[in-house]
Amino acid sequence: METLLYAAELVQEGGTYKLVVQDVVRDTVQVTPVPKSAVDKLPTFMSMLSSKLGSAPARGRW
């Protein structure tokens, strides 16, 4: 059984980006601005993380 601990969204508002992370257990939310350069590198970062930790099935909202 899976238990959701954190939920994260990358949101674009106008020309800015922000990362919204919800701590589901503590019922808190943190928001931080993210530069476009980091957003552009996200697919590469995720690929590197996946290869370091071992591939896990992709999850998403379909």
| Tens digits of pLDDT across the chain (62 residues) | 999 999 999 999 999 999 999 999 999 999 999 999 999 999 999 999 999 988 665 665 54
| Pair of tokens at residue 59 | 């999850």
pLDDT at 54: 84
pLDDT at 58: 60
3-state SS, 21-51, equals EEECCCCEEEEEEECHHHHHHHHHHHHHHHH
Written as one letter, the residue type at 37 is S
H or E element that contains 8? strand 6-13
pLDDT at 62: 41
Cα–Cα separations (whole angstroms), residue 45 to 7, 59, 60: 18, 16, 17
